Structure 1
Amino acid sequence: MIERKATIASRVGLHARPAAIFAEAVGEQPIEVTIAMDGEPADDAMDASSILSLMSLGAANGDVVVLRAEGDEAPAVLETLVKILETDHDAV
């Protein structure tokens, strides 16, 4: 299992618009990805392609989340997804 941490950059956190952008990107990946708040047990991780799961995290600007995935593609996939989370999608 590979994991990467990301800091939520969107000004109002992982709400509807950033969650939709991120969930769509996860859904396009060839592997399953989970997400959890930093410090949460891996068993509590949720499906990162689910907008409802993402919004239920309650991740605010500056919060750190952990993305996890398995497989040969995991490092590249997670790097791509970290960049999305660390982009402010609320910027004008």
Structure 2
Amino acid sequence: MPTAERTVRIASSHGLHARPAKLFSQAAGASGAAVTVAKGDGAPVNAASILAVISQGIDHGDEVTVAVDGDNADTVLDQLVELLLTDHDE
């Protein structure tokens, strides 16, 4: 069970396409924690995998749930949520 979880609305105006997905996946992988992301009621995928993240088809305004399990889960979650709440397409 994740130690920290939050549902957020995607801010990037083109959703989690290549650039925002890359930033998010790299941050998830670098965190050292187990991180998953799920679109709506969909199955969670490994957030450190850019292909898994892009395959979710996450668009602007979609709600996603980010779950983090590991040391500093709350801090990692805060950093990842901040990435999702930033429009990287401006």
Q: How high is the TM-score relative to the length of structure 2?
A: 0.91
Aligned to 1:29: 31
Moved over 4 A (4+): none
RMSD: 1.1
Aligned to 1:50: 49
Structure 1 stretches lacking a partner, 5+ long: none
Once the two structures are TM-superposed, the CA of residue 12 in structure 1 deviates from its matched residue by 0.7
Q: How high is the TM-score relative to the length of structure 1?
A: 0.89
- Structure-2 separation of matches of 1:6 and 1:72: 22
Contact residue 33 and residue 71 of structure 2 kept, 8 A: no
User: How many residues are paired up?
Assistant: 88
Tell me which amino acid in the other structure corresponds to 1:87: T
Aligned to 1:62: 61
Aligned to 2:83: 84
